[in-house]
Amino acid sequence: MQVFAILPAAGLGTRMAGPQPKQFLSLGGLPILIHSLRAFASVERIKAIYVAVRKTEIDRVQAQVSEHGFSDRVHVVEGGDTRQESVVHALNALPAGPDDIVLVHDAVRPLIDKATIERTIDAVAQHGAAIVGLPAVDTIKQVERTAHGALITSTIPREFIVQAQTPQGFRYDLLQKAMSDAVEDGFVGTDEASVVERAGLPVAVVHGSQVNLKITQPGDIELAEFYLSQRTH
C-alpha cells in the first residue's frame, strides 16, 4: 500500500486582500504553501506529494519546491478552475493502485501536524475514507434565508456536528470513482468528503485541532503567526 498527498493550490484567494494568492503569502518567513509541503514531507509513509496550481504559477512553485529541497517527492501539476477540478487533475497524474491511499489537504492549512496526518492515514487504512474534523463548540442553528434576513428553523445538537478540516483521505479507487461520477453528473462538492458521501460511502472522522486553521482572511495570518511562534519556543 502506497500513500500519496494532493494539495490543490490553484485558488485565487478572493477573500484575502492583496496582490497574490494566499498560498504564496509569507508566514514565519516562508510561503504558506511551503509550510504545508513540509508537514507532508515529514511523513515517511507518504511516497509523493502532488501540488495542483494555475498554469501561470507552475514555474514559480517548481522553483520554490527545488529551493526548499522537495524536488524528489513533490510534483507540480496544472490545476483547474475549481478545487474539484484541481483534485481530479492531480488524481489522474498519480501512479496509484486501487488500494493505495490518497490524502487531500488545503494548501492554506499550513500548521497541520505530522501526528494528525499519521492518524488520518491509519483511519483510511481501516475505514476506506476519513477526514479530520473538529467538534462544534458553539450552538448550531439551522436557518431559512428570506428577503428580510435569516430565520431560525431548528437547533442542531452539537454532538451531531463536526467542522470539517483537512487532510481528507480515501482509498484511491473510491475517490477516483466518486470524482468521476460527480464530473459526469455535473455535481460540485464543497470538499472531497461530500463527493464520497454522495456515492453512499461512509467516512470516518479523525479528531482535529484549532491550530489546523485555514488561512482565509487577513486576521488569520496573525493567528497563524502566533501558533507558529508557540511551536518554536
Each residue's pLDDT tens digit, 68-102:
988 899 999 999 999 999 999 999 999 999 999 99
SS3 67: helix
Q: Which residue has the higher pLDDT, 106 or 16?
A: 106
Q: What percent of the chain stands above pLDDT 70?
A: 96
The yes-or-no verdict on residue 134 having pLDDT over 70 is yes
List the beta bridge partners of residue 131: 168, 205
Looking at residue 18, what is its pLDDT?
A: 60
All domains in the chain, ordered by first residue: 3-231 (3.90.550.10)
| Alpha carbon 206 to chain centroid, angstroms | 14
Q: Which residue has the higher pLDDT, 232 or 132?
A: 132
In a 10 Å sphere around its CB, with 0-12 CB exposed, 13-18 middle and 19+ buried, how is residue 103 labelled? buried
Q: 195 with 182: CB under 8 angstroms?
A: yes
What is the rounded average pLDDT of the residues 116-133? 98
Alpha helices in 1-80 (DSSP H): 32-41, 58-67
22 band by pLDDT with thresholds 50, 70 and 90: confident
Looking at residue 16, what is its pLDDT?
A: 54
What is the rounded average pLDDT of the residues 12-31? 76
How many other CB atoms are found less than 10 A from the CB of residue 161? 15
12 band by pLDDT with thresholds 50, 70 and 90: low
